[in-house]
Amino acid sequence: MKEHLFQSLVAYIESKIKQQMWLAGDKLPSIRVLSFEHNVSKNTAIRALIELEMRGIIEAKAKVGYFVCQDKPKNLLPEQLYPKLTPTEVAVPSIFYDIMLRSAAFDILPKSTEQSMSSHLIELNRHIGRALRNTSHNATMYYDAPLGQESLRIQISERYRLRNLNLHHDDFCITSGCQHSLFLALLVTCKPGDNVAVESPAFYGVLQLLEQLKLNVIEISASAEFGLDLLELEKALVNWKIKACIVTPTFATPSGAEMPGTARQQLVNFANQYDFAIIEDDIYGELSFSKVVAPLKSLDTYNRVILCSSFSKSLSRDLRIGWIAAGRWQNNVVRLKLISQLASCQTQQQGIATFISSGNYRRHLDFFTTVLEHQRNQLVSALQKHWPKDIRFTVPLGGIALWVELDKNIDTEKLYNEAIKQDIVITPGNLFSISNYYRNYIRLSFNHPTVGKRLKAIIELGNILAMNNTDTCL
């Protein structure tokens, strides 16, 4: 009934735009006006606007209103699938451990080229080296403080201030990386048998966590462009007690989706209304190619959002330094950190802190995001040129990966085994779901330039796919 009303409103606004009554860049009537003119509740009007925003037809500007989007050059996006909204025990495919052993989660040619390091990373190692040389006897005789080094937490909180999140540096606790933060977040919010909502497709590291912690997963449909589908989440919330929702609102892996502002606000509202924890994986948050994206935590009103991140994707995977800001669960998180790993490396934290405060980190990010955007374009061109014409893929505005939907007949686990014979490693779609939904999807990373051997690998994969589009042996 209610759904019917909001859908009519969606259709009405869509027709206005199609008929060019409202043009790209035009401001839409306010929620108050829409609800008055169409005789629907404000809530219904908001639903309609979220739906239109999710579809990329309109966009919200904070505290101003809703605007008709500029027409974007269309590329075929992977289809959004709608998993069954029932809690399920997790069993992670063993293929993942095989990929981990090849250290190749984000590369199709593991360790094939010895690229030279960027000057920024050489500078980072200088900072860590300096911290090491300045180590006093005491650093070797005492463990790090429970929260981690203050100097680093100050730098982290200042980085977030630039992204519209104002937290005190004592609100952060240093961890061994983002995966460790997610692990702590789940341990403090859930117990075995509890239900946890995840985006579908989901980050496989999260699915593994849920498996090991014996938590049930509810996969919530997510759009390849706008992330978590709030209407689907609400259906799940109505039917099931959900203790936590793990979400990557900014450049989710595998799709690179970015949740629009209204959907983020709605997610926080749901958390308050249905009493669950939001675990925000912000690991790609600083890897935006153009605008600055505020973390979801900046909308947190009741300390329900647990922010998790690290420097692994933005700086170096060899730094085992992450952080967590766990709101109401912070004290328990610190205790669990102490018992699960006691402390972090002080000199490494000190080195990163001076690397950031000296401005090197900002300069590195400026450089690195430009490189990533360029590499995304390289990969997109290669796919358009060398892969079957009917593939669909995302073109993310940040992060390090895109999500490809292949022909329905392709089984990407078979493709994985086929490719591995030629030392090419792909990340098959099955890793991103426990329900076999993404059999014909793969994630490709643009963490490396698609040139030379890597371009050859992409062409080779295209050849395998072309052969199999005709005789479907994969």
> Segment near a copy of itself (CB under 8 A), from 67-75, 175-183, 370-378, 422-430?
175-183
439: tokens are 């059999």
For a copy of itself, the closer CB: 106 or 270: 106
* Binding to a copy of itself, residues 145-174 (CB under 8 A): 145-146
Helix (H) or strand (E) holding 401: strand 401-405
Q: Minimum CB separation from a copy of itself for residue 244, in Å?
A: 16
> Segment near a copy of itself (CB under 8 A), from 13-21, 116-124, 237-245, 387-395?
116-124
How many other CB atoms are found less than 10 A from the CB of residue 55? 14
Q: Rule CB under 8 A: is residue 193 a binding residue for a copy of itself?
A: no
Q: Rule CB under 8 A: is residue 360 a binding residue for a copy of itself?
A: no
Q: Minimum CB separation from a copy of itself for residue 281, in Å?
A: 13
**Contacting a copy of itself (CB under 8 A), which of 69, 132, 395, 420?**
132
> Segment near a copy of itself (CB under 8 A), from 122-130, 155-163, 249-257, 375-383?
122-130
Q: Rule CB under 8 A: is residue 179 a binding residue for a copy of itself?
A: yes
For a copy of itself, the closer CB: 7 or 208: 208
Q: Minimum CB separation from a copy of itself for residue 184, in Å?
A: 9
Q: Rule CB under 8 A: is residue 317 a binding residue for a copy of itself?
A: yes
**Do residues 61 and 262 touch, judged by C-beta distance below 8 A?**
no
> Segment near a copy of itself (CB under 8 A), from 6-14, 105-113, 232-240, 429-437?
105-113
- Which whole-number Å values give the CA distances from 144 to 138, 170, 180, 262, 348, in the listed order? 10, 15, 17, 40, 11
For a copy of itself, the closer CB: 264 or 337: 337
Show Cβ contacts of residue 413 under 8 Å, excluding neighbours closer than 6 positions: 93, 95, 428, 430, 439
> What one-character-per-residue DSSP string does 120-146 give?
HHHHHHHHHHHHHHT--HHHHHSPPPT
Q: Rule CB under 8 A: is residue 205 a binding residue for a copy of itself?
A: yes
Closest CA to 108 of 440, 471, 450: 450
Helix (H) or strand (E) holding 221: strand 216-223
Show Cβ contacts of residue 377 under 8 Å, excluding neighbours closer than 6 positions: none
CA pair distance 342, 154, nearest whole angstrom: 21
Q: Rule CB under 8 A: is residue 451 a binding residue for a copy of itself?
A: no
Q: Minimum CB separation from a copy of itself for residue 332, in Å?
A: 9
> Segment near a copy of itself (CB under 8 A), from 151-159, 179-187, 217-225, 423-431?
179-187
For a copy of itself, the closer CB: 132 or 231: 132
**Contacting a copy of itself (CB under 8 A), which of 138, 290, 359, 421?**
138
Q: Rule CB under 8 A: is residue 292 a binding residue for a copy of itself?
A: no
Q: Rule CB under 8 A: is residue 183 a binding residue for a copy of itself?
A: yes
Q: Minimum CB separation from a copy of itself for residue 150, in Å?
A: 13
Provide the CA 472 distance to its chain's centre, in angstroms.
Answer: 32
DSSP 430: G
Q: Rule CB under 8 A: is residue 339 a binding residue for a copy of itself?
A: yes
Closest CA to 324 of 308, 345, 313: 308
DSSP 67: E
Provide the CA 344 distance to its chain's centre, in angstroms.
Answer: 25
**Contacting a copy of itself (CB under 8 A), which of 333, 336, 379, 474?**
336
Q: Rule CB under 8 A: is residue 142 a binding residue for a copy of itself?
A: yes
How many other CB atoms are found less than 10 A from the CB of residue 187? 16
CA pair distance 435, 450, nearest whole angstrom: 31
Q: Rule CB under 8 A: is residue 91 a binding residue for a copy of itself?
A: no
Tell me the HSE value of 440 on the side-chain side, using a 13 A CA sphere.
17
CA pair distance 412, 431, nearest whole angstrom: 10
Q: Rule CB under 8 A: is residue 194 a binding residue for a copy of itself?
A: no
**Contacting a copy of itself (CB under 8 A), which of 30, 41, 43, 103?**
103
CA pair distance 249, 264, nearest whole angstrom: 8
CA pair distance 420, 428, nearest whole angstrom: 12
For a copy of itself, the closer CB: 100 or 467: 100
Is residue 456 classed as helix, strand or coil in its secondary structure? helix
Q: Rule CB under 8 A: is residue 342 a binding residue for a copy of itself?
A: yes
List of residues contacting a copy of itself (CB under 8 A):
97, 100-101, 103-107, 110-111, 114-118, 121, 125, 128-129, 132-133, 135-146, 176-177, 179-180, 183, 192, 205, 208-209, 212, 312, 315-320, 335-336, 338-348, 447-448
